[in-house]
Structure 1
Amino acid sequence: MRGFSLLEVMVALAIMASVILTVLGAVNYHLTIITNERDSTALTLLARAKMSELMQLTAIPEKSEGTLAPAHPELSWQADISATDLTVLKKLVVRVWRTGDKREVALERYLTQ
């Protein structure tokens, strides 16, 4: 009865190690993508909520900013209204960003006067 030689076992372990490292790298890469997408989705939803809140006002100020505390003290927001090429339209831009890593989402909406 003949078994595996030491060389065959070492080659098999080297192949297994390379496969495992490749799989772990791919899993880590995809977890990073999922985390980034989750953060982008959360920032987008908060920006949409802030835009809806601003749209409820009778007169939206030209510039406004603040934080989303107490629920999200790490997030800040800014809203700007600017003129467009068409005199009847104004552009509202709402930005929400995390102060720690500078991730930002900006939403635009065009308003009639």
Structure 2
Amino acid sequence: MKGFTLLEVMVALAILAGVILTVITSYNYHLGVVVRDRQETEAMLLARAKLDDPDFLKQRQTSGNFAPRHPDVTWKVETASAGIPGVDRLTFTVGWDGDRHKLTLTKYLESTAGAPGS
């Protein structure tokens, strides 16, 4: 007789199930990494655009969101002394997903009375 025994088929199916489970788990994990990286990149680009806006530092507003395109992404800015005379530290925090995720950028500026939070 030719063919596989029931035991050989069961072992092959068990190995195949283990491989498929590993591939699916790995794919799901890496898909989550891609989504998180996309969100962090989007937050970084929004923050950089806000900080590079020349009118932003002249405003008195210390928090807000990126409406109308990204109303669920919020921002907050704080200005404090950097410990060096004539230098202020501007901390710009971007939050998304209900502020469960945050990204903070720090920029050092010449001390001025017109900076947000001063």
In the superposition, the TM-score normalised over structure 1's length comes to 0.88
Q: Is residue 96–residue 106 contact of structure 1 (8 Å, CA) maintained in 2?
A: yes
> Which structure would you say has the larger RCO, counting Cα contacts within 8 Å and 6 or more residues apart?
2
Report the alpha carbon displacement of residue 59 of structure 1 after superposing the two structures with TM: 3.5
Q: Is residue 96–residue 104 contact of structure 1 (8 Å, CA) maintained in 2?
A: yes
2:26 matched residue in structure 1: 26
Once the two structures are superposed, the pairs formed by residues 1-113 of structure 1 within 5 Å of their partners are: 1-53=1-53, 55-57=54-56, 59=58, 61=60, 64-100=62-98, 102-113=100-111
The list of structure 1 runs, each at least 4 consecutive aligned residues, that deviate by more than 3 angstroms after superposition, is 55-61
Report the alpha carbon displacement of residue 84 of structure 1 after superposing the two structures with TM: 1.4
Query: Matched residues in 1 for 2:106 and 2:25: separation?
Result: 37
Q: What runs of 5+ residues in structure 2 fail to find an aligned partner?
A: 112-118
Comparing 97-106 and 36-45, the one that deviates more: 97-106
Q: Is residue 74–residue 96 contact of structure 2 (8 Å, CA) maintained in 1?
A: yes
RMSD value, Cα:
1.7
How many equivalent residue pairs? 111
Q: What runs of 5+ residues in structure 1 fail to find an aligned partner?
A: none
SS at match of 1:86: coil
